[in-house]
Amino acid sequence: MRRLSEGSELLERQKDEEGNTQASSRDSEAASESVSSNQDNSDFTSEECTDEHKIDAVAQQPCIEALQGELASFEKRYQHRVSKNSALEEDLKSLQQELQNMSNAARVEDDRLRLAIENQAEELGVKTVYIEELEREAKEHIQTYTNELRALEEEAARWKEAATAEAAAGAAVLEELEKRSKEIETLNERVLELERTGRRSEQ
């Protein structure tokens, strides 16, 4: 940005100096015309005028020399400004070349970044598909495990119910056995009592 600012300043200065150069050129042309006119007048007076006119021409000679000196000064300044403009043009070309190089480098970097973004987007797409596949498989496994767990819970409930029923049946059997045992004891007692009664009868 600093180089661009310098280039803009150089362009502005070049425009100003071109305007000054054109003004100097116009001044130089005017001075040349004046000198030429004075020289024509001098020639005219030297050839056709009277001695009085010749005296006037001699009196005007210092003015002509001053104009010629001013013209030479204008020409020198003009050449200096032309040289300076050439240097400014070289600087401007250098700035333009530098700007072109920067633009090319920026274009290359932009292409590189665009390619990197495209590669990352492609890689991200592949990874997204892979993650979605893993999620689908995980959901299937979870569903399978859930179904198996539900089946195991149902089977455990059936086993518990059967065990409870068997335990109840076992308790009933034990109760019946206990009841039968008591009946047997009662019968044994009666048998013994009958035996004792029979023995007494025999005596």
Token pair 């292409």 is found at 111
Q: What angle do CA 12, 91, 105 make, to 5 degrees?
A: 110
Query: Residues 9, 91: contact at Cβ < 8 Å?
Result: no
> Which pLDDT score is estimated for 114?
92
Give me the tens of pLDDT residue by residue for the chain, a chain 203 residues long.
Answer: 444 455 455 556 555 655 555 554 455 454 445 444 444 444 444 444 445 555 555 556 667 777 777 787 787 888 888 778 877 888 888 888 888 889 888 899 989 999 999 999 999 999 999 999 999 998 998 898 889 889 888 888 888 888 888 878 778 878 888 888 888 888 878 878 877 776 776 66
The alpha carbon dihedral of 109, 113, 116, 122 has a sign of: negative
> Which pLDDT score is estimated for 117?
93
> Which pLDDT score is estimated for 123?
92
> Which pLDDT score is estimated for 15?
54
Task: Kindly give, in sequence order, each residue whose CB lies less than 8 Å from that of residue 6, ignoring residues fewer than 6 positions away.
Answer: 95
C-alpha 85/C-alpha 142 separation (Å) is 83
> Which pLDDT score is estimated for 9?
57
C-alpha 101/C-alpha 3 separation (Å) is 13
The pTM assigned to this predicted structure is 0.36
Token pair 């009946």 is found at 183
